[in-house]
């Protein structure tokens, strides 16, 4: 059975694309078949984060009827991840084209374990089509009040569309109580479990510059570990941190700069 998860937020820039890409990458690393779909058809970012320079087909080709089946727009990234990119060019899509998004997603149901949809921010038409194509909603927010209030709106919006909110991912968490809400408070306010708390981590930014998901480029970074724990949680695994264990001699050599 294919699980279709929309990654959405009320407020923009809180880390949806970063979360979608790294969750998809971690699920892929755990042996799950995943198709990551860029549902942000106006301001597409997935191909930029992943360094997909030019793709033969995009979701826009499907929405415009140039290709018939979304399966034909699946690009296999060199890291093995399956991606349906959206075009980064400016497109004037009519609402009849935008409406095809949900039908397009149906084309790939049954051929993969997970479909992860990176949604646009807010409650506009593009977001509506991207969210309603999914069965489950993962809400991204940062730990600040404006984003959390907007997260509540997207949770209600999804419920009205018949999509089940499964949890919240708190991103860019620094643990600064002067202006951040705690995960516990966020959980109480949104009445949804916080499934992951991703710390603010400069490796995330470095990874975007490297065009390689942080779970692959900096696998032991704090953010990567939390992305992997989230993926593990979604598939019912208990993720154990596996770091290379160095022998006492190696550690001593390193300490005295002999190795």
Ligand X SMILES: Nc1ncnc2c1ncn2[C@@H]1O[C@H](COP(=O)(O)OP(=O)(O)OP(=O)(O)O)[C@@H](O)[C@H]1O
**Where do contacts with ligand X occur on this chain (CB under 6 A)?**
9, 12-18, 40, 45, 121, 171-172, 198, 200-201, 204-205, 208, 223
Query: Which does residue 172 bind out of ligand X, Mg ion, none, counting CB within 5 to 8 angstroms by kind?
Result: ligand X
Tell me which of 4, 9, 11, 16 binds Mg ion, using CB under 5 A: 16
The least distance separating Mg ion from the CB of residue 256, rounded to whole angstroms, comes to 47
- Closer Cβ to ligand X, 46 or 67, answer by number: 46
Query: Which does residue 59 bind out of Mg ion, ligand X, none, counting CB within 5 to 8 angstroms by kind?
Result: none
- Closer Cβ to ligand X, 35 or 44, answer by number: 44
The least distance separating ligand X from the CB of residue 18, rounded to whole angstroms, comes to 3
- Closer Cβ to ligand X, 105 or 170, answer by number: 170
- Closer Cβ to ligand X, 9 or 58, answer by number: 9
Please give the torsion angle defined by the CA atoms of residues 47, 50, 53 and 59, in that order, rounded to the nearest 10 degrees.
-30
Query: Which does residue 14 bind out of ligand X, Mg ion, none, counting CB within 5 to 8 angstroms by kind?
Result: ligand X
The DSSP-derived string for the chain is --EEEEEE-SSTTSSHHHHHHHHHHHHHHTT--EEEEE---SS--HHHHTT----S--HHHHHTTSSS-GGGG-EE-TTS-EEE----S-----HHHHTHHHHHHHTTTTSSSEEEEEPPSSSSHHHHHHHHT-SEEEEEE-SSHHHHHHHHHHHHHHHHTT-EEEEEEEEEE---TTT---HHHHHHHHTS-EEEEEEP-HHHHHHHHHTS-HHHHSTTSHHHHHHHHHHHHHTT------PPPPPHHHHHHHHTT--
Query: Which does residue 18 bind out of ligand X, Mg ion, none, counting CB within 5 to 8 angstroms by kind?
Result: ligand X
- Closer Cβ to ligand X, 148 or 198, answer by number: 198
Binding mask 17-46 for Mg ion (x = CB under 5 A): x---------------------------x-
How many positions of this chain bind Mg ion (CB under 5 A)?
3
């Amino acid at each position: 059975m294919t699980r279709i998860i929309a990654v959405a937020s009320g407020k923009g820039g809180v880390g949806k694309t970063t979360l979608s890409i790294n969750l998809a990458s971690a699920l892929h690393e755990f042996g799950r078949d995943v198709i990551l779909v860029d549902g942000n058809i106006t301001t597409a970012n997935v191909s930029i984060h992943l360094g997909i320079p030019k793709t033969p087909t995009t979701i826009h080709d499907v929405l415009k009827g140039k290709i018939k089946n979304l399966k034909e727009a699946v690009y296999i990234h060199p890291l093995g991840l399956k991606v349906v990119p959206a075009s980064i060019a400016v497109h004037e899509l009519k609402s009849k084209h935008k409406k095809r998004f949900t039908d397009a997603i149906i084309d790939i149901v049954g051929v993969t374990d997970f479909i992860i949809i990176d949604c646009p921010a807010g409650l506009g038409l593009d977001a509506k089509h991207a969210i309603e194509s999914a069965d489950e909603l993962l809400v991204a927010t940062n730990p600040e009040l404006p984003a959390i209030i907007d997260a509540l709106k997207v949770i209600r919006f999804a419920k009205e569309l018949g999509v089940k909110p499964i949890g919240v991912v708190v991103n860019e968490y620094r643990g600064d109580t002067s202006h951040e809400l705690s995960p516990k408070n966020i959980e109480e306010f949104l009445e949804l479990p916080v499934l992951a708390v991703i710390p603010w981590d400069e490796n995330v930014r470095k990874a975007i510059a490297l065009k390689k998901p942080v779970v692959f480029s900096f696998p032991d970074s704090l953010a990567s570990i939390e992305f992997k724990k989230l993926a593990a949680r979604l598939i019912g695994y208990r993720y154990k941190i596996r770091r290379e264990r160095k022998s006492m001699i190696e550690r001593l050599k390193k300490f005295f700069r002999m190795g």
